[in-house]
Structure 1
Amino acid sequence: MRSIFVFPDVEQVAVAALLDELSPGQRHPWLVDGCLFVWLTTEGECLYLDWESQAVRSLTRACGHRPGWALQVDVSSRVDGTAEVRSLTLALLAQGGIAMDDYSDHPWTANEIANDAAVEGLRFFDFKTYYERTKLPH
């Protein structure tokens, strides 16, 4: 399972309404595009539980505060999911916010995602490049 976290700059109610529209009748988790499992998580539950401290610092700097809630989007390893992750993330960040993926400590903006920006050689949700870099030699 691969994951991203999205910290939209809108109220939770608006985010839930968007997800309800994208995933009618499906909640906890929302199932979007048949391959994205979306959970609303809070700091009191498990948000930041297994995060590296550098990632939390990067997010806090980018947001100006440590967000108290986020959307965790899980993608099965059985599908690529890149197009679906990008589309959903851009919709959730339409009014601002930050996204973080499993592959870097960079806080991604909608503009960076839309423009396919690279930071330290990685793009948003760039699991293919990340795995190539971390492959052990034969």
Structure 2
Amino acid sequence: MKNGRVTAASPSPERSVRVPLGLLGAGLTATAYVGAVDPNRPGHYPVCPFLALTGWWCPGCGGLRAVHALTRGDLGTALHDNVLVVALCGFTASFWTLWALRALRGRPRPALRMGRPWWVAAAVLVLAFTLVRNLPTGTFLAP
């Protein structure tokens, strides 16, 4: 009780780190599966519905191959397969690290606040990436 009000006790660092550790475990499990089951060999993963319907690479096409290459330590191939997924993996790892460190110190998780200009910029980037990788001059971005 503080100033006549009931306040919630802040969780111990061990307890507050459970969620980031659980998500790390889930992410590592999925990554281990993609590392073990090669997406370059047909029959293991479904075909991208956008690619099947339009014949165009979607922004995620090549993402599994990029993660597979990252599990092998082949950054060049990963960047070739899908540079956006590699960037997203780097961002996710950085955010998770910050979150876990804050949880260990008993601090709240970091807030991910993006205003409208950031969302518009992200949408334009993804759209431009999708368009360019499907043009004859952008074949270097195609998986």
Whether TM exceeds 0.5 here: the answer is no
TM-score (norm: length of structure 2): 0.25
Counting strand residues as a fraction of each chain, which structure ranks higher? 1
Structure with higher Rg: it is 2
Counting helix residues as a fraction of each chain, which structure ranks higher? 2
TM-score (norm: length of structure 1): 0.26
